[in-house]
Amino acid sequence: MHAHCPPPRPRAIIRRQPLPRRGRLARLGDALARHRRSILVLQWAVILVYALLVVLPAWLPIPPAGASMVNNLRLAAQFAFWGLWWPGVILATLLLGRVWCGLLCPEGALAEFASRHGRGRAIPRWLRWRGWPLLAFVATTVYGQLVSVYEYPQAALLVLGGSTVAAVLVGLLYGQGKRVWCRYLCPVSGVFALLARVAPLHFRVDRQAWAGYPGRSPAVDCAPLLNVQQMSGAAQCHACGRCSGHRDAVTLALRSPAQEILASSVRDMARVEAWLLIWGLCGVAIGAFRWSADPWFVLARQAAAAWLAEHEWWWALEANAPWWLLTHYPEVGDSFSWLDGALLLAYISAVALVLGGALQLGAWLAGRLARLPWQVLSAAWVPMAGAGLLVGLTLLTQTQLRAEGLLLPWLNPARGLLLAAGGLFSLWLSARQLARADVPHPRRLAAWCALAAPLALLGLAWWQQLSGF
Nearer to ligand SF4, 245 or 341 (CB): 245
Cα torsion at 302, 307, 311, 314 (round to 10°)?
Answer: -20
Q: 48-57 long-range contacts, Cβ below 8 Å, gap at least 24?
A: 50/106, 51/106, 52/77, 53/77, 53/80, 53/81, 53/85, 54/81, 54/153, 54/156, 54/157, 54/160, 54/161, 55/157, 55/161, 57/153, 57/156, 57/157
Identify each DSSP E strand in 161-287 by its residue range.
Answer: 201-205, 250-254
Among 81, 184, 192, 203, binds ligand SF4 (CB under 6 A): 203
Question: Cβ of 84: how many Cβ atoms within 10 Å?
Answer: 13
Among 110, 111, 172, 222, binds ligand SF4 (CB under 6 A): 222
Query: Counting contacts by CB under 6 A, is residue 358 touching ligand SF4?
Result: no
User: What are the beta bridge partners of residue 333?
Assistant: none
Residues 6+ apart with CB under 8 A from 239: 96, 97, 98, 99, 101, 102, 103, 201, 202, 203
- CB 42 to ligand SF4: min, Å: 15
**143 near 159, Cβ under 8 Å?**
yes
Query: Counting contacts by CB under 6 A, is residue 199 touching ligand SF4?
Result: no
The stretch near ligand SF4 (CB under 6 A) out of 164-172, 224-232, 326-334, 388-396 is 224-232
Nearer to ligand SF4, 239 or 366 (CB): 239
**326 near 336, Cβ under 8 Å?**
yes
Among 240, 358, 365, 390, binds ligand SF4 (CB under 6 A): 240
Q: Tell me, residue by residue from 148 to 187, as one string, x for binding to ligand SF4 by CB under 6 A and - for no binding.
A: ----------------------------------------
**461 near 296, Cβ under 8 Å?**
no
The stretch near ligand SF4 (CB under 6 A) out of 14-22, 218-226, 338-346, 431-439 is 218-226
The stretch near ligand SF4 (CB under 6 A) out of 139-147, 226-234, 277-285, 423-431 is 226-234
The stretch near ligand SF4 (CB under 6 A) out of 1-9, 76-84, 221-229, 332-340 is 221-229
- CB 214 to ligand SF4: min, Å: 21
Question: Cβ of 73: how many Cβ atoms within 10 Å?
Answer: 15
Residues 6+ apart with CB under 8 A from 304: 339, 343
The stretch near ligand SF4 (CB under 6 A) out of 209-217, 222-230, 329-337, 410-418 is 222-230
CA 371/CA 362 separation, integer angstroms:
14
- CB 222 to ligand SF4: min, Å: 3
Among 171, 175, 224, 459, binds ligand SF4 (CB under 6 A): 224
CA 149/CA 337 separation, integer angstroms:
17
Q: How many residues bind to ligand SF4 according to rule CB under 6 A? A: 15
The stretch near ligand SF4 (CB under 6 A) out of 191-199, 239-247, 315-323, 406-414 is 239-247
- CB 349 to ligand SF4: min, Å: 36
Among 182, 191, 228, 358, binds ligand SF4 (CB under 6 A): 228
Nearer to ligand SF4, 142 or 220 (CB): 220
Query: Counting contacts by CB under 6 A, is residue 231 touching ligand SF4?
Result: yes
CA 57/CA 360 separation, integer angstroms:
41
- CB 88 to ligand SF4: min, Å: 20
Q: Is the dihedral of CA 67, 71, 76, 78 positive or negative?
A: negative
Residue 289 burial (10 A CB sphere; 0-12, 13-18, 19+):
buried
The residue type found at 160 is L
Q: 299-305 long-range contacts, Cβ below 8 Å, gap at least 24?
A: 300/343, 300/347, 301/339, 301/340, 301/343, 304/339, 304/343, 305/339
- CB 20 to ligand SF4: min, Å: 21
Query: Counting contacts by CB under 6 A, is residue 102 touching ligand SF4?
Result: yes
Query: Counting contacts by CB under 6 A, is residue 242 touching ligand SF4?
Result: yes
Among 183, 197, 204, 238, binds ligand SF4 (CB under 6 A): 238
The stretch near ligand SF4 (CB under 6 A) out of 58-66, 130-138, 217-225, 346-354 is 217-225
* Interface residue list for ligand SF4 (CB under 6 A): 102, 203, 220, 222, 224, 226, 228, 231, 237-243
